[in-house]
């Protein structure tokens, strides 16, 4: 069976990326793609500021991420049980869609130039995706 790639939204639509970020490198993974919704763009809009994982790690945002993932989760579950392997494709360093690395370090407060670092781990949206797929007993790989 053909592998199904479940991709972060901005890999296919860079218009939703945070203003000022370069478009992601587009890799040719094949034609079997499920494009995830962009949780940050939907939740905070296109004029949002850069944030880190700690700033998004609130119950309401996690609930929102689980909710917007449900239609894709149903499709993934049906495809998986039809024999298709599943691979999640995330964005390196993203506080929401990092599959293997995410961002940390901003503490909030008044606007000023500040830095952040990238650490191993998943972003909030991908943590919720992982949890949902594991609850549905769906095996999957992750990549960035």
In tens digits, the chain (144 residues) has pLDDT values of 899 999 999 998 888 887 777 766 666 777 899 999 999 999 999 888 889 999 999 999 999 999 999 999 999 999 999 999 999 999 999 999 999 999 998 776 666 677 778 889 999 999 999 999 999 999 999 999
Task: Measure the CA dihedral 34/92/102/56, to 10°.
Answer: -50
pTM comes to 0.86
| 22 occurs within a structural domain | no
Among the listed residues 133, 134, 2, 108, the one whose alpha carbon sits nearest the alpha carbon of residue 53: 108
| Burial of residue 85 (number of CB atoms within 10 Å: 0-12, 13-18, 19+) | middle
pLDDT, position 27? 65
The verdict on residue 89 lying in a domain is: yes
Distance CA 136, CA 51 (A): 30
Tell me whether residue 19 is in a domain.
no
What pLDDT, on the 0 to 100 scale, is given for residue 109?
Answer: 67
The tokens describing 101, both together, are: 């690395």
Q: What's the confidence (pLDDT) of residue 14?
A: 82
The predicted structure's pLDDT at residue 134? 97
Asked whether residue 85 is assigned to any structural domain, the reply reads yes
Total number of domains in the chain: 1
Residue 62 in domain: yes
Q: State the pLDDT at residue 12.
A: 87
Burial class of residue 38 (count of CB atoms within 10 Å of its CB; 0-12, 13-18, 19+): buried
> pLDDT value at position 31?
82
Give all strands (DSSP E) within 1-144, no chain letters. 4-7, 33-35, 86-89, 101-104, 117-120, 141-143
- 43 found inside a domain: yes
Residue 56 lies in a domain: yes
141, 85 Cβ separation under 8 angstroms: yes
Query: Domain range holding 58?
Result: 4-12+39-107+116-143
- Determine, yes or no, domain membership for 33: no
């Amino acid at each position: 069976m053909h592998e199904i790639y479940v991709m972060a939204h901005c890999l296919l639509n860079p218009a939703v990326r945070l203003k000022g970020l370069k478009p992601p490198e587009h890799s040719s993974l094949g034609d079997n793609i499920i494009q995830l919704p962009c949780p940050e763009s939907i939740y905070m809009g296109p004029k949002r500021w850069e944030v880190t994982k700690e700033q998004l790690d609130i119950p309401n945002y996690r609930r929102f991420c689980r909710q917007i993932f449900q239609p894709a989760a149903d499709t993934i579950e049906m495809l998986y049980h039809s024999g298709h392997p599943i691979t999640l494709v995330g964005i390196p360093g993203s506080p929401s869609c990092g599959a293997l690395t995410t961002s940390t370090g901003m503490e909030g407060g008044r606007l000023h130039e500040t830095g952040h670092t990238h650490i191993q781990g998943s972003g909030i949206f991908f943590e919720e995706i992982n949890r949902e797929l594991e609850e549905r007993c769906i095996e999957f790989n992750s990549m960035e």
